[in-house]
Amino acid sequence: MGTVFLAVGAALAMIKNRADQKIDASIQPYVEKNAERLLQVESELLDVPYTCTPIFSFEVVSTTGPSASGPAGQYVGETQTLHLLPSKLAPSNTGWVGQLERAVEVRTDADRVIAHEFGHHLIDQWSRVQGRGMWPCVDEEDKITSRIGLYMINEGLAKYAQCTAIDGKSVLPANVDLSAMYNQVVDGVFPLLRLLVYEGGFQLVQPVLDQHGKRGIEFLLEHPPSDTDMFDLGAYQSGVLGALETTR
């Protein structure tokens, strides 16, 4: 009986490996076929024109060279390159193995990842067109806590673009105290950092973009939260909305 189970397990593993290879091989043509359409949709929805599509790379580049591990997608402003990791992505029209791996979070829906990273690309391009240069421009010498506000705007804008083009919402409750989360991160609760930057960033920018669109984007690029603002992000958000109302 044990031999039978081993044989069945080996056969299933072989089927999965072949399916994984097929999914991996499908990512590049899928992206190349759908990228322009998705970028156009995001551009129109955000009212932010784009001047070019990003360069695509289907490997994650680390400090030591190409890597087999890393995020499913990453936009690098310095080279205007969108790095995608096929082994962590599944097209929306994938088969049962891809659907299963998405369900257990081994793979991520390719459209969602691309839409998020395109958000970064669009905002970066718009910043350059407006004469601000690359966005975000980060001083890596600064302490991580002094860069969190900038990261929140950056990731919040990208997630807003993703949710506008595809779908989605914040996993945080609507009344969450973002500054309390920030204080916990400062106190050393670093597992909250990603949640604060991505989900908290989305909540921070969402009403600004819902009410003011491209003007809201421009204001946020010019006025990300300062170190002081981080201790009362509710007041920062209200101040941004008030400033945009008075200059409508």
Beta carbons of 144 and 192 less than 8 angstroms apart: no
Q: What is the mean pLDDT of the chain?
A: 82
- Look at residues 116, 58, 114 and name the one whose alpha carbon lies nearest to residue 84: 58
Check whether the bond before 71 is cis (ω within 30° of 0): no
Place of tokens 């784009």: 50
Q: Which of 3-7, 28-32, 126-130 has the lowest mean pLDDT?
A: 3-7
- Whether 37 has a pLDDT exceeding 80, the answer reads yes
What number is the average pLDDT over the span 109-138?
90
Give residue 86's pLDDT: 85
Beta carbons of 188 and 174 less than 8 angstroms apart: no
Q: Which of 80-89, 155-164, 214-223 has the lowest mean pLDDT?
A: 80-89
pLDDT-above-70 percentage for the chain: 77
Indicate the Cα dihedral angle 68, 74, 75, 80, nearest 10°. Answer: 0
Beta carbons of 223 and 242 less than 8 angstroms apart: no
What DSSP state is assigned to residue 132?
-
Q: Which residues contact 21 (CB under 8 A, 6 or more apart)?
A: none
- Whether 209 has a pLDDT exceeding 50, the answer reads yes
Our measurement of the distance from residue 137's CA atom to the centroid of its chain's CA atoms, rounded to an integer in Å, reads: 17
Instruction: Copy the structure tokens of residue 9.
Output: 């397990």
27 falls in which pLDDT band (50, 70, 90)?
confident
Give residue 124's pLDDT: 95
- Whether 228 has a pLDDT exceeding 80, the answer reads yes
Give the length of the chain: 248
Give residue 18's pLDDT: 59
Helix (H, G, I), strand (E, B) or coil at 82: strand
- Look at residues 77, 38, 23 and name the one whose alpha carbon lies nearest to residue 55: 77
- Quick: pLDDT tens for 54-98: 999 987 655 444 445 568 899 999 999 999 988 888 776 555 444
What number is the average pLDDT over the span 31-43?
87
